Amino acid sequence: MHALPSHTSGTLFQTLAPRTSADRASLPVQVASVAFIAALTAAAAQFSVHLPFTQVPITFQPIVVLLGGLVLGSRLGAASQCLYLAAGIAGLPVFAASATLPPGIFRLLGPTGGYLMAYPLAAFVVGLCAERGLDRRWLTSVLAMLAGLAVIYTGGTLWLAFFARLAGASAATGLATAVATGIAPFAIADVLKVAVAAGAGPALWRIVK
């Protein structure tokens, strides 16, 4: 197996992907991996639950985003989410179905757009942690994924607060409303999902070793 650069511990993708003479995964393998995670994110969006008190649906997308970053690393993880967003902007049915939220590019400009636009950054953050070896143990994998989840929540909440301000709410009220409808209903379930999903990285590393 090729040695990895000294400044990084290497991700699962870097370790398992076939290498070229330049000691990097071949371009077709990188493209296929990015496309696979983007498709998985789109598939996760199709299984959604809408709650009556919030426009934010429950989906498995955040977990796919975080796991994609954990496995692919920062650059490819972010690229997979950029590809996913590009597919949605192009009009493909990759966003969660909704009778009230707008389709296509307008979904990004709607009240839940902050979550979606935070996906590439969240995957990048988790991937950066993985490149420093934090995906080798369950606890550090949890922390890495929670950092990415915090990015998603921050982007989504600030965007919801902005829409609350447009509706005439004060800054404090808008932010409180955003937290109440964009974080509180999902936080416990998302943390539990992260705790379960974070075991995937260390388990795969044990198999690799």
The 8-class DSSP code of residue 19 comes to: B
pLDDT above 70 (res 173): yes
Q: What is the pLDDT of residue 9?
A: 66
Q: What is the pLDDT of residue 63?
A: 96
pLDDT above 50 (res 117): yes
pLDDT tens figures, 43-61? 999 998 888 888 898 999 9
| Domains of the chain, first to last | 12-208 (1.10.1760.20)
pLDDT above 50 (res 2): no
Helices H / strands E in the chain, number of each: 10, 0
Q: What is the pLDDT of residue 181?
A: 92
* Contact predicate 73/11, CB 8 Å: yes
Distance CA 108, CA 101 (A): 10
